Amino acid sequence: MMRGLLLVLAAALATLTPSPALAEWELVEGGKPFAIGETSMRITPVSNWNRWKDNASDHSENLSRDGIMLNDLYIVAGMPSGDTLYGETDPDERPLPRLSATLDLVEIPEFYESSTRLALNTPVFAITSTEPATMSGHPAIKFTFEYAFADSPLKRRGVAMGTMVDGKLYLIAFDGPATYFFDRDRAEVEAIMASAAF
């Protein structure tokens, strides 16, 4: 039954998931430190992931194992004040919030929520938990969330960790379908969070 459900889910999402050839994915090998953009931040994944080479930012990366609709790992390293978490898609109608150098740790989940809600143009987004954490030796905040794309019944779950260092944002956020994929990859993502160094 579960296998059949997963096959149906994968087929339904296949048209939304960029193919490696189109998105120009490249391998990120497990067990080896990986640099985020043009920054000094490093993570060390346990297993192999794929990097989306079309990412335009010098301080962020998108990684996935099976395609970003099934598991999306978004990493931001040293994002400066005044920048947005994502590229603007509709700055006139839905301008994204800009990072403040004085953003407090407890405000990081709200900044992530409002940025993601506007970028996806969805009203369905909720922070489900927050807790103190440590990221590369710095005080941080870890939070979980749930959301769905507009007009989609498929619920997605996520976990993220973020900190502010010298007025810059460091964030690792992961999400995937609540059915199977999020739970399968969560332990490895949390190991990646623990491996972050900057």
Span 159-187, average pLDDT = 98
How do the domains of the chain map onto residue ranges? 2-195
In this structure, the number of other CB atoms found within 10 A of the CB of residue 18 comes to 15
Looking at residue 14, what is its pLDDT? 39
Q: Mean pLDDT lowest for which of 22-31, 62-71, 119-128, 141-150?
A: 22-31
Query: Mean pLDDT over residues 148-174, rounded?
Result: 95
DSSP characters over 156-197: EEEEEEEEEETTEEEEEEEEEETTTHHHHHHHHHHHHHHH-B
The pLDDT assigned to 109 comes to 98
Averaged pLDDT of the chain: 89
Q: What is the pLDDT of residue 56?
A: 62
Model confidence band, residue 57 (pLDDT cutoffs 50, 70, 90): confident
Q: Please tell me whether residue 192 adopts helix, strand or coil conformation.
A: helix
Q: CA 158, CA 183: separation in Å to the nearest integer?
A: 10
Q: The pTM is what?
A: 0.87
CATH, domain 2-195, list 3.30.2310.20, 3.90.870.40, 3.90.420.10, 3.40.1000.10 = 3.40.1000.10
The pLDDT of residue 129 is above 50:
yes
What are the two backbone dihedrals, phi and then psi, of residue 37, each rounded to the nearest 5 degrees?
55, -135
- The residue ranking higher by pLDDT, 153 or 127, is 127
Evaluate whether 25 touches 51 at the Cβ level (below 8 Å). Answer: yes
Answer with the residue of higher pLDDT: 93 or 133: 133
Q: How confident is the model over 17-41, as a mean pLDDT?
A: 81
- Model pLDDT for residues 64-107, shown as the tens digit of each residue: 999 999 999 999 999 999 999 999 888 998 999 999 999 999 99
- The type of residue at 192 is I
How many CA atoms are closer than 13 Å to the CA of 53, on its beta-carbon side? 10
